[in-house]
Amino acid sequence: MSKNKVITYFSEYFQIFIGIVLTSLGLKAFLLPNKFLDGGVTGIALLVRTQVDINMSYLLIIFSIPFLILGYFTVAKRIVIKSIISILGVALFIHFENFQTITNDKLLISIFGGLLVGSGIGIAIRNGSVLDGSEILGIYLNDKFGLSIGKIVMLFNIILFGVTAFVESIEIALYSILTYIIAAKVTDTVIEGFEDFIGVTIVSQKNAVIKKAILEELGVGLTIYKGASGYGYKGKTQDFDIIHSIVNRIDIKKMYKIVEGIDENAFIVEFDVNTVKGGVLRHYIDKKKNRKLPTTS
């Protein structure tokens, strides 16, 4: 195994360890003492723990087993192995660590419990691990029936919180929903990153002028595709360049002004970008140190 691979593995498992610690802290110091729930398998274990006197770490492992078995047939084996290690890690931390209850304020419990659990889950997912089996269930049903993973997980949690309202109280169910929403949002933020990028594709007959203006005024990199316009009632017209670029959301209005100032009939497609690596975009983010950039990204 090369040195780079060893460093990568060490980095991944170290970050997963950080995720385990954060999730365990959120559960043990905030949610467990106050009978608040998170979503997914963790939520099921927390709910059952309020009704029976069984150690939370045992419940977490027991309820995760069916989903891990399902994951063996639906996702990569390395993800299943990492997930087994992660879930066992959370169970061990909950069992042996004596995290003290930090606050009894219900709103603070929901906010910071969700923040810690969401951060831990997000870090684990970024490094190829799953701390909650409901995502594996979502992947399986999506592959089998084409259902949205997000909708599956949401339905799973609606049922869970409905049962919580019946078994415990509506108040605990509502606070648990708040915890879940915060955890889900933080998880997405950790996975997707804090940088907010927008991808833009521009189709215009005045593409040469637009390319120059974007480079000089925004200082972003461009990728150029060859295309042909006019398919429709006019028939094929001519070949031209299609401009593709990625900008920070702050600059998207300026991008539109530049393009519309040159060609108000330009066709513009905008889409969200979750992750960006390499390319001249790094220069753009670094306070635009180099504004005259080559026309590649």
CA distance 158 to 151: 10
What are the 10-residue block averages of pLDDT along the chain, 297 residues in total?
A: 78 92 89 82 86 87 89 82 90 82 86 91 85 75 68 79 87 88 84 73 88 84 76 60 82 85 89 66 45 42
pLDDT tens profile 35-52: 788 888 888 888 888 888
pLDDT at 14: 93
pLDDT tens profile 201-260: 998 888 889 988 888 888 777 888 887 665 555 555 567 788 888 887 767 888 888 998
CATH numbers and ranges of domains, the chain: 3-192 (no CATH), 197-285 (3.30.70.120)
pLDDT at 194: 60
pLDDT at 72: 85
Specify the pTM.
0.70
